[in-house]
Chains A and B, each alone.
Chain A
Amino acid sequence: MSFIARVYAGLSWLRREVLSQFSGKVAIALLVAIVAVSIYAAATMPSNYNVIWNYPLYWEANPKNSPPEWSTYFGTTCLTNQVYDLRTATPRISVDEEGRVRLTYNMTYTLDVKSYPRALILIVDSMTIPANVRNVRVLNTIVKPDGKQIQVFDDLVDFTKNVTAGSFKFTQTFRPELDKIYNSLLLNYINYNIDPNDVGVNYLSYIFGEITQPDPKSTARTTYLTGRYVISLTLDFRVEGVAQELLLRSIKNAARFEYVVVGTCYGLMGTDYQGRDLAMGLLYGFPIALLIGLGTALMSTGLGLLAGMVSGYYGGFIDEFIQRFIDVLGSIPLLPILILVAAAAQTAFGADPNKPVLMLLTILGVLVLFGWGGLAIVVRSMTLSIKSELYVEAAKSIGASNFRILIKHILPQLVPYIAASLVYSTPNAILTEAGLSVLGIYHGLPTWGGILAEARTQGRVEYWWWIFPPGLLIAITSLTFVLLGLALEKVVEPRLRR
């Protein structure tokens, strides 16, 4: 009890001392913010996050390489991503005597900027199809503001092969079909000279644009057409027997059933080359960064402390062995070793679903292994000087064990130094991880360094939303710990105080 009270008193003294300095105040404020965000992120992080991040299908409906939505305030023409969640929408239902169930969804889409959407996509993920459903025809048409109707796709999906026993989970994406679009363009614009190759490349401008042809001999051109579009989606199920209620329920319970008009801007922080939400990557990067920083720092500091104390206190052969081992470690070049280890881990964990996590742990393990030597040397020399203090001899003459002397007399004097070293080596680990990622020693987890590394491999400097935020977060986190270290240093070393 008295021990806890003493630790508490020590901590509150430390807090008071740190807060009495400007750098300490800034550091504590930043640290509280970082820890709060980390706790929030860790609490809301999906359990299979590392799998989701590296699963392209999950991000399919997102625009690729898109700036954040707020970039419109800086003059970018910005078309927001429009997602229609059809699970909650109410379809028009018609059932005919042949057993067809036809669900029709009507969505309105207002295009108010001079831009074309990037893509159209219907995503069906894990929709339970009852056993008596034979097939479904999925039909999508868009009615332009000027009344012209374009067919986007018309697909027939056969379930008879899949539904053998019970029900079946249906997952598929539907995309525009060029021949359907071209055919309906021909039907609607009879006297226009439409180039099929241009439709093939720029079909979205034919769907969401005004088609003009001033001169009968030239080819048709498209311009922006703002206004209200009506998107109509029809699911035509061929059913044996009655299944209307069952179908509606399985639509409601599907993992995803949405129609997306892909915009040119996305979310709070934009997207990367796979359409991944960078806001998510940055948010979940907080706990990972803290884990990397504090974990590596704690382990290498702990190892250095232990080795230094044992080396300094016991001396002799153990001392010589540990010190020479540190010399050897220090003379091994870290970077080639890391590249080799990363390459080896890449093949070793190839099939594991948790490969990114294992890779990261391996890299951190190497960092810890090579990171404790310097501290051990300093702790050893401090231990040597404390060991020869008279009160240590007094404890020995009492009959105190070596362990007791180490814990009660030597460790308390090392603690302030260790705390400062811990705080300083935390940003070191975060920075090293980021640097290694950029160098290509990359584990695949969405760390800030990892996001930066992918920006580099994609090589697009103009994607500022992809480069600046992770860079800034790394810098701010490092700054926090460096400021904290500065404040702690003044507490530990009173001569630095003015």
Chain B
Amino acid sequence: MSEPKLVVEGLKKYFPIRRGITEALTFKPPRYVKAVDGISFEVFEGDVFCLVGESGCGKTTTGRLIVRLIEATDGRMRYKVSEELKNQIPEDLLQDGKYVDLLGKLPKNVDKALRKDTQIIFQDPYGSLNPRMTLKDILNEPLQVHNIGASESERLEIIHRALSEVKLTPPEEFVDRYPHMLSGGQRQRVAIARAIILNPSLVVADEPVSMLDVSIRAEILQLMLDLKAARNLSYVFITHDLAVANYICNRIAVMYLGKIVEMGITDKVIGNPQHPYTQALVAAVPEPDPKNRLRIKEVPIKGEIPSAANIPSGCRLHPRCPYAMDICSKEEPPMVEVEKDHYVSCWLHTKK
């Protein structure tokens, strides 16, 4: 088995809630939205690691924390650096000879080099490309920032190569276009090209196909898998769609209200869900069998996801859980291994 590319331990992100004047005057403690509340996982080299969960569960925040668009409140995020990158990093920052804590204080050049190595693809290809820039400008920006390519013509060549890699051919026809001249799928290809043009080793893909037409989702997913094979990438793939997750991921983590509730090999988690929440998610996937089209499926959990500012005590699912017990509202369940490479955080599976 390969080594972990990224080890996340106890990652937390609390967003403070602006206090009203009465709250400030009465010295009430400041309140937080606990978007990510202490999650741990490992992404192995060559993995497609999926984070799934419904809206507001903190999966996008996790993705943004990994590429350091926002600062974490607490936790550790150890990142394995490649051999060539290792030379740029001072000895005292390296742990076990190859891991760097992304959340620690990093010198400017190290920070820049690490940003180059981790890239993100956003959900919305309509918003992630500056409408006032041509594709050439958009793809030139990362090259300029990292001083790649000696001359303008050399950079143009790199841009052409990246565009052909994402199947926008012939590239000469695309470089001078503006984003509004492209379809959604083509835009997402440009966003992917921008992410891979710097030769990263870890790419966070934040729901990269959920805003695309269903007819081209598979194409984009296949393109991402091709690129992974060709460039030896690891993905952190964020999605709310179990079908997509099933298609692309080899490992999966299910998130609920800022916590990971179930994690493991995709086939095991989706084929044999152990947590009530995962079971509900799997049950909600439409069945492709026409014989079942008239049967109304019973979804085991009810109600809405609670606010992340007002998290239930104990197990976070207990107000919606059909199997809730006394202990569920009192104590948080620990993460236990139910079978090899399959972890669940639920009192039902905890041996007392």
Asked if A399 and B128 sit within 8 Å, CB to CB, the answer is no
Asked if B132 and A395 sit within 8 Å, CB to CB, the answer is no
Stretch of B139-147, B315-323, B328-336 with 4 or more beta carbons under 8 angstroms from chain A: B139-147
Find the residue from B67, B128, B129 having the highest chain A CB count within 10 A.
B128
Q: Quick one: closest A residue to B113, CB to CB? A: A399
Q: Which residues of B contact A389 (CB under 8 A)?
A: 127, 130
Asked if B67 and A397 sit within 8 Å, CB to CB, the answer is yes
Q: Which residues of A contact B34 (CB under 8 A)?
A: none
Asked if B146 and A391 sit within 8 Å, CB to CB, the answer is no
Number of residues of chain A lying within 8 A (CB) of chain B: 17
Given contacts A393-B69, A408-B141, is CB(A398)–CB(B198) below 8 Å? yes
Q: How does the 8 Å CB contact mask read for A396-413 relative to B, with 1 for contact and 0 for none? A: 111111001000110011
Q: Quick one: closest A residue to B117, CB to CB? A: A399
Residue pairs across A and B with CB atoms within 8 Å: the count is 51
Question: Does any Cβ of B come within 8 Å of A4's Cβ?
Answer: no
Question: Does any Cβ of B come within 8 Å of A165's Cβ?
Answer: no
> From residue 378 to 394 of chain A, which have CB atoms closer than 8 A to chain B?
389-391, 393-394
Nearest CB of chain B from residue A108's CB, rounded to whole Å: 75
Asked if B145 and A393 sit within 8 Å, CB to CB, the answer is no
Some 7 contacts from A to B, beta carbons below 8 A apart, are: A390-B124, A396-B69, A397-B115, A399-B146, A400-B145, A408-B141, A409-B130
Give A residues with C-beta under 8 Å from B: 389-391, 393-401, 404, 408-409, 412-413
Please provide the 7 A-B residue pairs with the shortest distance between their CB atoms, ordered closest to farther. Answer: A390-B127, A399-B115, A390-B128, A391-B130, A398-B142, A397-B120, A397-B67
Nearest CB of chain A from residue B193's CB, rounded to whole Å: 12
Q: How does the 8 Å CB contact mask read for B18-49 relative to A, with 1 for contact and 0 for none? A: 00000000000000000000000000000000
Q: Does more than half of chain A's interface fall in helix, strand or loop, or is it mixed? A: helix
Asked if B141 and A395 sit within 8 Å, CB to CB, the answer is yes
Nearest CB of chain B from residue A170's CB, rounded to whole Å: 70
Q: Quick one: closest B residue to A2, CB to CB? A: B152
Q: Which residues of A contact B120 (CB under 8 A)?
A: 394, 397
Question: Does any Cβ of A come within 8 Å of B122's Cβ?
Answer: yes
Q: Quick one: closest B residue to A404, CB to CB? A: B145
Give B residues with C-beta under 8 Å from A: 64, 67-69, 111-112, 115-116, 119-120, 122, 124, 127-130, 132, 141-142, 145-146, 191, 194, 198
Asked if A390 and B198 sit within 8 Å, CB to CB, the answer is no
Asked if A399 and B112 sit within 8 Å, CB to CB, the answer is yes
Q: Which residues of A contact B146 (CB under 8 A)?
A: 399
Given contacts A390-B122, A408-B141, A413-B132, is CB(A397)–CB(B127) below 8 Å? no
Tell me the bound Cα distance from A151 to B272 in angstroms.
129
Other contacts beyond A391-B128, A394-B128, A399-B112: 4, CB < 8 A: A394-B194, A400-B141, A400-B145, A408-B141
Q: Quick one: closest B residue to A395, CB to CB? A: B141
Q: Quick one: closest B residue to A1, CB to CB? A: B152
Q: Identify which of B122, B194, B198 contacts A393 (C-beta below 8 A).
A: B122
Nearest CB of chain B from residue A428's CB, rounded to whole Å: 29
Q: Quick one: closest B residue to A391, CB to CB? A: B130
Q: Which residues of B contact A401 (CB under 8 A)?
A: 145
Q: Which residues of B contact A412 (CB under 8 A)?
A: 132
Q: Which residues of A contact B124 (CB under 8 A)?
A: 390
Q: Which residues of B contact A391 (CB under 8 A)?
A: 127-130
Given contacts A390-B124, A404-B145, is CB(A398)–CB(B194) below 8 Å? yes
Q: Which residues of B contact A399 (CB under 8 A)?
A: 111-112, 115-116, 142, 145-146
Q: Which residues of A contact B127 (CB under 8 A)?
A: 389-391
Tell me the bound Cα distance from A391 to B142 in angstroms.
12
Q: Which residues of B contact A396 (CB under 8 A)?
A: 69
Q: Quick one: closest A residue to B128, CB to CB? A: A390
Nearest CB of chain B from residue A233's CB, rounded to whole Å: 75
Q: Which residues of B contact A393 (CB under 8 A)?
A: 64, 69, 122, 128
Q: Which residues of B contact A390 (CB under 8 A)?
A: 122, 124, 127-128
Asked if B145 and A398 sit within 8 Å, CB to CB, the answer is yes
Q: Which residues of B contact A404 (CB under 8 A)?
A: 145
Nearest CB of chain B from residue A19's CB, rounded to whole Å: 23
Nearest CB of chain A from residue B116's CB, rounded to whole Å: 6
Q: Which residues of A contact B130 (CB under 8 A)?
A: 389, 391, 409
Asked if B69 and A398 sit within 8 Å, CB to CB, the answer is no
Q: Which residues of B contact A408 (CB under 8 A)?
A: 141
Nearest CB of chain A from residue B70's CB, rounded to whole Å: 10
Asked if A398 and B115 sit within 8 Å, CB to CB, the answer is yes
Nearest CB of chain B from residue A491's CB, rounded to whole Å: 15
Q: Quick one: closest A residue to B197, CB to CB? A: A398
Tell me the bound Cα distance from A400 to B120 in angstroms.
14
Asked if B69 and A397 sit within 8 Å, CB to CB, the answer is yes
Asked if A394 and B122 sit within 8 Å, CB to CB, the answer is yes
Tell me the bound Cα distance from A400 to B119 in angstroms.
12
Q: Which residues of A contact B129 (CB under 8 A)?
A: 391, 394
Q: Quick one: closest A residue to B143, CB to CB? A: A398
Tell me the bound Cα distance from A400 to B111 in angstroms.
11
Find the residue from A390, A400, A404 having the highest chain B CB count within 10 A.
A390
Q: Quick one: closest A residue to B194, CB to CB? A: A394
Tell me the bound Cα distance from A389 to B111 in angstroms.
23
